[in-house]
Amino acid sequence: MAVAKGSAGLWTSPRRSRTVRGGSCGAALTAAGWQPGRLHAAQAERWADALSGHRSPHGHPHQLFPAAFEAWAELGAVTLRPTGPGVELAAGTVVIDPLLGRHWARTLGELGRALGTELCPLGAEGGGTALLAVDRQGRLYCVDHTGDWYLGHDVLTGLSTLLTGTRPHRLVPPDPD
């Protein structure tokens, strides 16, 4: 994915119109060795092969799609650490490695159906206590022992939510009324 350095310290991706502001997320990406224009398609293909060949014990497959592949290629194998304290919650470390969600096919399938989309693993947060997943539109979600969370309208916004300790939006089922 071509990523160009924009004005005023912003990184933008022309393909997905994503912007990383020079704050905590941008600093965490830079500290992790990420650079604009980074593309690890071969690694993303290996992850896609591993996930496509995996089934849950009851036969549930992972859903694979371009938004997940693009995020893996651009951000994969990166560990992001917060660069400061959290705004509302403790800021968390994030590892981009979709194989950390290998055994979550059923959970992601069920949550995706409830949301009217499909989800694919992206990585983990909090030392592996929470799974990160991306949907077909590139939105980022989190599943942990306390519930399901919407982190942002794109991957980088969602990562910023975690890295800055901003309170995410809790996903709750609609009232049956």
pLDDT tier for residue 21 given thresholds of 50, 70 and 90? very low
Name the nearest CA neighbour of 9 among 76, 24, 126: 24
pLDDT tier for residue 154 given thresholds of 50, 70 and 90? very high
Mean pLDDT of the chain: 85
| pLDDT tens string 75-132 | 999 999 998 888 999 999 999 999 999 999 999 999 999 999 999 999 999 888 999 9
Residue 82, pLDDT score? 92
What is the rounded CA–CA span in Å between residue 18 and residue 38?
14
| pLDDT tens string 29-48 | 999 998 888 899 999 999 99
What is the rounded CA–CA span in Å between residue 162 and residue 142?
10
Size (the chain), residues: 177
- In order, the DSSP letters of 111-149 are HHHHHTS-EEEEEEETTTTEEEEEETT--EEEEETTEEE
Say yes or no to pLDDT of 15 above 50.
no
Residue 162, pLDDT score? 95
What is the rounded CA–CA span in Å between residue 104 and residue 142?
12
pTM: 0.85
- Determine the number of helices (DSSP H) and then strands (DSSP E) in the chain: 5, 10
Long-range contacts formed by 77-80: CB under 8 A, 24+ apart: 77/40, 77/43, 78/29, 78/32, 78/33, 78/34, 79/32, 80/25, 80/28, 80/29, 80/32, 80/159, 80/163
Evaluated on CA atoms 39, 42, 47, 49, the torsion sign reads positive
